[in-house]
Amino acid sequence: MLATASPLLHRSKTRTFNEELWGQCQLLVPQARWEPFKLPYLIGKVLLAEPVGKVPVYLVDGALLNRVHDIGFVQGGNSVEDPKMPNPGKTKYFLVLDDRHCRHDLCFVLLHEAVELEVMVIEKLSYEEAHDTVANPAELHARLRGFDLLQDRKLLRIGP
């Protein structure tokens, strides 16, 4: 059960940290500001375990999402967590990230949302279980060890 498993990530019952997924998250974050792009903007896809597979990742206007759809959107989300979330690509699974965040932070938010989606689908966890027992610990682990990795890829904030 979850209480006896290591809280660091997913991919297996032992929940070891997944370096491959962390690397995907860092590579997907845009290297330049995305303001010229029309939102929602597809930045790429992350590969999650089957049956989830390749999942599109969109930058969205979080403030507009909240005003128009009243869904309590904060930082990021996924298609399973909130079925009322607008689906930019009409796919079964998708991830959305708020475009108001700096690139450095978006890497961690993307990891959180990807892990959350994966365990909600594969392990049939509720949003609360996935968020609190798997996604939050994974994000915290990455934040505690990840700043050097982000500096190596020069993913520093640009703009105001």
Instruction: Identify whether 120 is part of a domain.
Output: yes
Instruction: Identify whether 148 is part of a domain.
Output: yes
Q: Taking 90 as the threshold, does the pLDDT of residue 114 lie above it?
A: yes
Mean pLDDT, to the nearest integer, of 15-35? 75
Distance CA 157, CA 144 (A): 18
Identify the band that residue 156 occupies on the pLDDT scale cut at 50, 70 and 90: very low
Instruction: Identify whether 74 is part of a domain.
Output: yes
Mean pLDDT, to the nearest integer, of 113-123? 95
Number of independent structural domains in the chain: 1
SS3 (DSSP) at 133: helix
Instruction: Identify whether 63 is part of a domain.
Output: yes
Q: What is the mean pLDDT of the chain?
A: 79
C-beta separation of 134 from 3 below 8 A: no
Instruction: Identify whether 33 is part of a domain.
Output: yes
Instruction: Identify whether 160 is part of a domain.
Output: no
Q: State which residues form the domain around 114.
A: 22-152
Name which residue leads in pLDDT, 121 or 34. Answer: 121
Instruction: Identify whether 158 is part of a domain.
Output: no
If phi over 0 gives left and psi between -120 and 50 gives alpha, with beta otherwise, what is residue 154?
A: left
For the whole prediction, is pTM greater than 0.85?
Answer: no
Name which residue leads in pLDDT, 19 or 150. Answer: 19
